[in-house]
């Protein structure tokens, strides 16, 4: 038995008054974030101005501690003057804004000092009303309703009806195998949602139905090709919705939309059309996520070891001819689901190295082709004459990595971003290396 953190999200069906209270709480969180950020920027600008006048470091304006605790302490001292209406919302709304600000400033600082890997994180920006609104409750009376399974309880808001039953989470709570840690309400995809962060105790996983190892080759023509020979069709949800999406977007183009330059406000018909477009995108995203969940759950339930590729999806979507098709597949989402589901069930996830030639290698003799065009859908080995489907050959090569992970695979490790091992391309364009590096290599 193991204890894991799991999220349960439910769509809410609030009344008009409850919608106003939810919006007020999320607005209070945004207000606290912007207020704290303004104080931090004011102190930074003041210290920078004093340095420009030659003021010694010991005589500069004292720096402001941007921890969530310090920000809340400063807020409590002036909240009656800054926001006389603060009592209309729960204190957790303001704590959420300060916690988000402290995390954003911490991420920026660690990225700036080189302690954070990955893409450079910029300085936090002020949040507008168009920003994704959310509010987190970690104290107070929140959780599921004790009377039925179609309501949730939120602090200061009360019982809110849900669009779906909460029985899955309720059964865990009744058995004592789950503890709700926090609740986060957010407005996204045209609906209010609540997400519960739950500490849940997982029982011993059931043994795999089939067992063994399966290699999964993801693609655009097919969602996935398994090493067992099974082909999972790509439903192409976005392509199916393109006709209706184009029609709605053409309608919105003919209507009066917003214009920041002339400060023109959008018409009600434009807002209605935009709501229909958002609803269509939501349906597409939900259908895609549902299909990926079903596939990942089936793979984890049937096999002991799952082998996938570490695909560079961000680079693939840079191709304007493939960007929409690649984005519609959801390759990164499937990888993410397999990562935590294999951990929960005690299975093994093997991730092939990004540069492992799964498509170019012959599954029969192991020979590697020098070139293999994307248009060549049938793999033919020049060494032994082995001939099979390109994707099936890649899936079987991936399955073979489970027995020899040293050939370019990692086990249950997070996705990395390996740099090019060759010095070519790190200097000038067209693969030319810097002069000093070339001279050093020649010496």
Q: Residues 375, 379, 384, CA angle at the centre, nearest 5°? A: 150
**Active-site residue flag, 146:** no
Give the active site residue among 309, 310, 328, 339: 309
Give the C-alpha separation, 139 to 155, whole Å.
Answer: 8
C-alpha–C-alpha distance, residues 283 and 383, integer Å: 48
Pairwise CA distance, residues 330 & 284, whole Å? 12
Residue with tokens 């309703």: 145
Q: The tokens 């590729």 sit on which residue?
A: 309
From 92, 310, 328, 391, the catalytic residue? 391
The dihedral formed by the CA atoms of 119, 124, 127 and 131, expressed in degrees to the nearest 10: 10
Query: Are the beta carbons of 378 and 362 closer than 8 angstroms?
Result: no
Give catalytic status of residue 364 as yes or no.
Answer: no
Active-site choice (217, 304, 310, 339)? 217
Can 217 be counted among the known catalytic residues?
A: yes
Ordered DSSP codes for 42-61: HHHHHHHHHHHTT--GGGSP
- Greatest alpha-carbon pair distance for the chain in Å reads 82
Angle between helix 68-82 and helix 91-112 axes, rounded to 10 deg? 130
Instruction: Please choose, from the candidates 89, 251, 87, the residue with its C-alpha nearest in 3D space to the C-alpha of residue 157.
Output: 89
Helix axes 242-254, 268-302, angle to 10 degrees: 160
Is residue 51 a contact partner of residue 26, using CB atoms and an 8 Å limit?
Answer: no
Tokens standing for residue 363: 């599954």
- Integer-rounded Cα Rg, in Å, for the chain is 27
Orientation of helix 331-345 relative to helix 268-302, angle to 10°: 40
How many CB atoms sit inside 10 A of residue 178's CB? 21
Q: Which residues are catalytic, by number?
A: 217, 309, 391
């Amino acid at each position: 038995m193991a204890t894991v953190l799991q999220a349960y999200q439910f769509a809410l069906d609030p009344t008009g008054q409850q919608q106003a209270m939810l919006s007020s709480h999320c607005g209070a969180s945004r207000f606290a974030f912007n207020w704290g950020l303004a104080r931090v920027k004011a102190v930074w600008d003041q210290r920078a101005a004093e340095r420009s006048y030659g003021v010694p470091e010991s005589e500069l304006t004292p720096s402001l501690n941007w921890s969530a605790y310090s920000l809340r302490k400063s807020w409590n001292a002036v909240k009656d003057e800054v926001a006389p209406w603060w009592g209309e919302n729960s204190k957790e709304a303001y704590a959420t804004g300060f916690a988000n600000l402290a995390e954003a400033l911490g991420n920026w600082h660690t990225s700036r000092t080189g302690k954070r890997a990955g893409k450079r994180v910029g300085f936090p920006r002020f949040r507008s009303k168009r920003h994704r609104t959310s509010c987190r409750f970690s104290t107070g009376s929140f959780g599921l309703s004790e009377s039925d399974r179609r309501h949730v309880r939120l602090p200061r808001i009360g019982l809110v009806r849900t669009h779906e039953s909460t029985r899955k989470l309720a059964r865990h709570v009744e058995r004592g195998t789950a503890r709700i840690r926090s609740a986060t309400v957010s407005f996204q995809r045209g609906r209010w949602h609540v997400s519960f962060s739950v500490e849940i105790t997982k029982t011993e996983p059931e043994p795999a139905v089939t067992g063994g190892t399966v290699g999964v080759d993801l693609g655009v023509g097919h969602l996935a090709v398994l090493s067992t020979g099974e082909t999972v069709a790509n439903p192409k949800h976005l392509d199916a919705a393109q006709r209706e999406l184009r029609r709605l977007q053409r309608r919105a183009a003919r209507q009066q939309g917003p214009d920041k330059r002339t400060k023109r406000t959008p018409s009600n018909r434009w807002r209605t059309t935009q709501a229909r477009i958002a609803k269509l995108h939501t349906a597409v995203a939900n259908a895609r996520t549902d299909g990926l969940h079903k596939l990942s759950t089936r793979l984890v339930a049937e096999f002991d070891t799952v082998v996938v590729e570490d695909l560079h999806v961000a680079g693939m979507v840079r191709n304007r001819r493939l960007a929409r098709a690649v984005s519609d597949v959801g390759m990164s989402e499937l990888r993410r689901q397999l990562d935590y589901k294999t951990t929960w069930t005690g299975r093994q996830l093997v991730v092939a190295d990004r540069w492992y030639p799964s498509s170019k290698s012959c599954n029969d003799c192991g020979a590697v082709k020098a070139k293999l065009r994307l248009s060549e859908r049938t793999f033919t080995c020049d060494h032994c004459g082995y001939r099979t489907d390109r994707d099936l050959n890649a899936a079987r090569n991936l399955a073979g990595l489970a027995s020899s992970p040293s050939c370019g695979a990692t086990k249950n490790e997070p996705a990395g971003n390996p740099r090019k091992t060759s010095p070519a391309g790190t200097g000038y364009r067209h693969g030319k290396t810097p002069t000093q590096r070339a001279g050093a290599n020649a010496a």
